[in-house]
Amino acid sequence: MTNHVSSLHVRTYPPTPSAARACRDLLRDLLERWGLAEFYESAALVLTELVSNPIRSESPVEVAFCRCGAATVRVEVHDRAPGRPEAVAAEDDEESGRGLLLVGALAVEWGWRPASDGKVVYAVLSGESLHAEDAAALLRGGFLSCGSQMDEYG
């Protein structure tokens, strides 16, 4: 992956359920413009997981998309909620708690860094790792709550 930033887009949305849809719409437009439209489904799952926490905590949804190489995109979401994000093993009957596991499965890298008023959670998405069939397999494998979360947040 190169550190060269060829395109950067930053937007802020109000903390409403429609913010997730607006973020995904922007993602779709950017991926089409960048010639990476075939990776939309997987990238949209990752994005929805990252924006769900600010929406739940009723914080503005600040999102940044950076094209960092021919087929590499970095997604960053400012989350004002306290605490560090951690991937946890949710029980089979729990409806949430698998989001960061999904992000980790679809992203080349994910992480976070502190911000003055919370944190920034990011995922690096690369053409080699983003395939719609991977997302479909994850959903069939017990991540049904992720699909319902996409519906819940727009």
Domain boundaries defined on the chain: 7-152
* pTM to 2 decimal places: 0.76
Q: How far apart are CA 88 and CA 77, in angstroms?
A: 20
Q: Are 112 and 122 in contact (CB under 8 A)?
A: yes
Average pLDDT of adjacent 10-residue blocks, the chain of 154 residues: 66 92 96 92 92 90 90 91 72 61 87 90 79 47 36 39
In words, the CATH class of domain 7-152 is alpha beta
